[in-house]
Chains A and B, each alone.
Chain A
Amino acid sequence: MKLLGLAIVAVTGAFLIWATGEFPDWGDPHSPASLHVSPRYIEKTLEETSVPNAVTSVLADYRGYDTMFETTVIFAAGVSCFILLRLFGKEEPDTVHYRHLLTGLTIRVRRKREGLEQLGEFERMDSVWTPHDLILRTLSRFLIPFIQLFALYVIAHGHHSPGGGFQGGVILGASLILMAISQDMKSALDRLGERTLAMLSAIGVSVYAGTGALCLVLGSNFLDYAALAEIFRVDPVEARSLGIFLVEVGVGIAVMATMILIYHNLASQGRLDEGL
């Protein structure tokens, strides 16, 4: 069976390598892709959308549908991770550790007792709890604001430089994942709860689709941002740039929330009470 698999892989690989010979050379100005579609975008982007970064305008304006459904795919990935781990992978731990806040004593209790936490004297502990590394903790506390600031810059500056909602959202999500790793999941969940994250994930997709629907209401095509000129009171070219920004913010929110949601579910097997 292994030999058969190897043979199939080798034959497929050989076909693929043989097929690349038919491709146009890298950066060939006479290849079909550079002759029909690209020149239109490269020449007209600045005049039609006033966005200097052609990649951003193609992604969010000319190919707006694509990006909208990409965002929907991200949302669906988050939801399916949630369903798989939460509904099917639920297994309650037999014993739970609690720490007495006044004396620092650790006690082990069979099953989770709700009453202990309500007393206000006990704190739930992770079973794989390790003492926090002071250097790691301090350094990430120092780094996280800068990472978040950079992520916001990436989202907002996507019109002029590489970046945009997707990359910025991932970096923003990564900063909160770093917090969950360097401190513990409980403090990360206190900042941005699971319910809020799930809502934000849906809100991000809705912002994108809502921008498109708003264009439809204003009597234009779906995701034709030029129609937003009436609302923003600017000329249609500027309105397209603003529409791209709105959409990027939606993508950023959805991607950030989904990344954190996937991490929280994955790292705790859907129980959400213990971090890595």
Chain B
Amino acid sequence: MIWQLDLLVLSLVVICGVGALMIKDLLGSAILFGAYSFMMCVLWAVMGAVDVAFTEAAVGAGVSTVFFVAAVFRTTRRTKD
């Protein structure tokens, strides 16, 4: 892969990961976590692990984001800490 693009995806992974931890709004955190998963999926696909990328896209970016949103919807949207 073109190394500039690789660097961009890698830095997006770090930004999304740190952002998901830092942000106070839990709904935003869930969406950032989905974005993180999707970037990881791109990285897996680039490294040739297509099966892992497929699982990451289906489970990490898809269903687990839905689970997080459902859990936020039934609890609180703001963190206490």
Chain A, interface size category, equals 20 to 34
In the assembled complex, the Cα of A262 lies from the Cα of B70 at a distance in Å of 10
- Do the beta carbons of B58 and A266 come within 8 Å of each other? no
Instruction: Check A174/B51 contact, CB under 8 A, given A263-B70, A266-B71, A276-B73.
Output: no
Contact with B along A66-96 (1 / 0, CB 8 A): 0000000000000000000000000000000
Q: Is A64 an interface residue (CB 8 A)?
A: no
Binds B, one of A34-42, A163-171, A193-201, A219-227: A163-171
> Of B50, B63, B69, which one neighbours A259 at CB under 8 angstroms?
B63
Q: Is B8 an interface residue (CB 8 A)?
A: no
Interface residues of B in 27-81 (CB under 8 A from A): 47, 50-51, 53-55, 58-59, 62-63, 66-67, 69-71, 73-74
- A-B contact number at CB 8 A: 49
Q: Is A23 an interface residue (CB 8 A)?
A: no
Instruction: Check A167/B67 contact, CB under 8 A, given A55-B51, A266-B74.
Output: no
Residue on A nearest B50 in the bound complex, by CB? A162
In the assembled complex, the Cα of A162 lies from the Cα of B44 at a distance in Å of 13
Instruction: Check A263/B67 contact, CB under 8 A, given A162-B50, A269-B74, A276-B73.
Output: yes
Instruction: Check A166/B62 contact, CB under 8 A, given A267-B70, A269-B74.
Output: no
Residue on A nearest B74 in the bound complex, by CB? A269
Contacts of A155 in B (CB 8 A): none
In the assembled complex, the Cα of A26 lies from the Cα of B50 at a distance in Å of 16
Interface residues of A in 146-190 (CB under 8 A from B): 162-164, 166-167, 170-171, 173-174, 177, 181
Residue on B nearest A262 in the bound complex, by CB? B67
Contacts of A164 in B (CB 8 A): 51
Residue on B nearest A154 in the bound complex, by CB? B54
In the assembled complex, the Cα of A55 lies from the Cα of B50 at a distance in Å of 10
State how many angstroms separate the Cβ of A207 from the closest Cβ of chain B: 20
Residue on B nearest A265 in the bound complex, by CB? B70
In the assembled complex, the Cα of A114 lies from the Cα of B62 at a distance in Å of 37
- Do the beta carbons of B51 and A267 come within 8 Å of each other? no
- Do the beta carbons of A167 and B58 come within 8 Å of each other? yes
In the assembled complex, the Cα of A269 lies from the Cα of B69 at a distance in Å of 13
In the assembled complex, the Cα of A203 lies from the Cα of B8 at a distance in Å of 44
> Of A26, A162, A173, A268, which one neighbours B63 at CB under 8 angstroms?
A173
In the assembled complex, the Cα of A149 lies from the Cα of B14 at a distance in Å of 35
Instruction: Check A163/B74 contact, CB under 8 A, given A170-B62, A174-B62, A177-B66.
Output: no
- Do the beta carbons of A267 and B73 come within 8 Å of each other? yes
> Of A56, A266, A268, which one neighbours B67 at CB under 8 angstroms?
A266
Q: Please report B residues at the A interface, Cβ cutoff 8 Å.
A: 47, 50-51, 53-55, 58-59, 62-63, 66-67, 69-71, 73-74
A-B contact pairs, 22 of them (CB 8 A): A26-B47, A53-B51, A55-B51, A56-B51, A162-B51, A162-B53, A162-B54, A164-B51, A166-B55, A167-B51, A170-B58, A170-B62, A174-B58, A174-B62, A174-B63, A177-B63, A259-B63, A263-B70, A266-B67, A266-B70, A267-B70, A267-B74
3 nearest CB pairs, A to B: A162-B50, A267-B70, A170-B58
